[in-house]
Amino acid sequence: MREHGGNLDVARQRFGGAAEDWIDLSTGINRVPYPDVDVEPRQWSALPPRSEIESLHAAARQAYATDAPILAMGGAQAAIQLLPQLASRGRARILAPTYNEYAAVLSAAGWDVDEVSDLAALAGADLAVVVNPNNPDGRHHERRELLALLPRVGRLVIDESFADAVPDLSFAGEAGQPGLLILRSFGKFYGLAGLRLGFAIGSETDIAALAAMAGPWPVSGAAIAIGRRALRDHDWAKATAARLADDCVRLDAAVRSQGWTLVGGTPLFRLYETGDALVAQDRLARGLIWSRVFQQKPGWLRLGLPGSEAEWSRLSAALSR
């Protein structure tokens, strides 16, 4: 299995506790989820009609400020799984380090995959992947730099799974032109990862191909109802983005006494250089707080943001041990 956050089974095997006892800060999922999640019984009992799927698409276009073709899918991961089938196998280049599913999925499908550290090195690829803002270090790129890649690659995929709180970084408004595919995650910012909802935004050709592969019911009736409602709730999104920005400052200050230094991050997570991330992770885990470490970067520790004052207090106590 590839490394990911959210692996609470591992945490519980090592440190005990029931799942509900843990504060899971390993994922970058908003711990103050969108609250209005009631659905009508028919959302569970009936197949989602096309008209309701299209109403979800309309809500997403408005939320992401785009008029390009769009497809709701079972999370951004569902789109990643289908990427290798959008074109004949060729050379893929991925700006790294980043989310590790891209390299694994493309390699498994027979693509020749290179992970590169410089944006310019993506040129010449049949498929180029940029996560913007990046997971786990939060780096992002100027609009002109990324768009300049379009004529130099076969297809440019921009993963915007962590862009909801920083909409100025989004390229969704540029989508629709050939060769550009934008992926969005719903569950992270809205704190409803279990709903399994995301979107692909791109050209008519790419979205039609993904839709054909995803099938007639790519998302559930509950995901449609809750997603549509949340995406239209602009006041909640604005207030949440402001809270997350404040909480990033608060978290950076809270860990400063540990001697950790900020590597980067997004409004949903922070990445710190700790010197020894396994030691730092164990220390937090003894207070039943789970974090994310990286085998290739033994000093890096990623922390999501606590959601309640009780969680902040527990984090402070764990850091004080």
SS (H, E, C) 183-221: EEECCCCCCCHHHCCEEEECCHHHHHHHHHHHCCCCCCH
Q: Cα(first)–Cα(last) distance of the chain, in Å?
A: 32
Nearest to 191 by CA among 249, 130, 267, 246: 267
Q: Could you report the per-residue pLDDT of 223-277, keeping only the tens digit for each?
A: 999 999 999 999 999 999 999 999 999 999 999 999 999 999 999 999 999 999 9
Position 4 scores a pLDDT of: 87
Q: Could you report the per-residue pLDDT of 266-284, keeping only the tens digit for each?
A: 999 999 999 999 999 999 9
Position 1 scores a pLDDT of: 59
Above pLDDT 70, what percent of the chain? Answer: 100
> Average pLDDT, stretch 100-116?
97
203/200 Cα distance (integer angstroms) = 10
pLDDT over 70 at 67, yes or no: yes
> Average pLDDT, stretch 304-310?
98
> Which tokens belong to 184?
């969005």
**Tally of CB atoms within 10 A around 268:** 26
pLDDT over 90 at 17, yes or no: yes
Cβ 176 vs Cβ 33: under 8 Å: no
Half-sphere exposure of 244 (CA within 13 A, CB side): 28
Q: Could you report the per-residue pLDDT of 114-172, keeping only the tens digit for each?
A: 999 999 999 999 999 999 999 999 999 999 999 999 999 999 999 999 999 999 999 99
**pTM of this structure:** 0.96
> Average pLDDT, stretch 39-65?
97
Position 321 scores a pLDDT of: 84
Q: What single string gives the DSSP state of each residue in 118-144?
A: SGGGGTT-SEEEEESS-TTT-----HH
What single-letter amino acid sits at 190?
Answer: Y
125/135 Cα distance (integer angstroms) = 21
Q: Binning pLDDT at 50, 70 and 90, where does residue 3 land?
A: confident
The bridge status of strand 91-95 relative to strand 261-266 is: unpaired
> Average pLDDT, stretch 298-305?
98
Cβ 243 vs Cβ 265: under 8 Å: no
pLDDT over 90 at 315, yes or no: yes
Position 309 scores a pLDDT of: 98
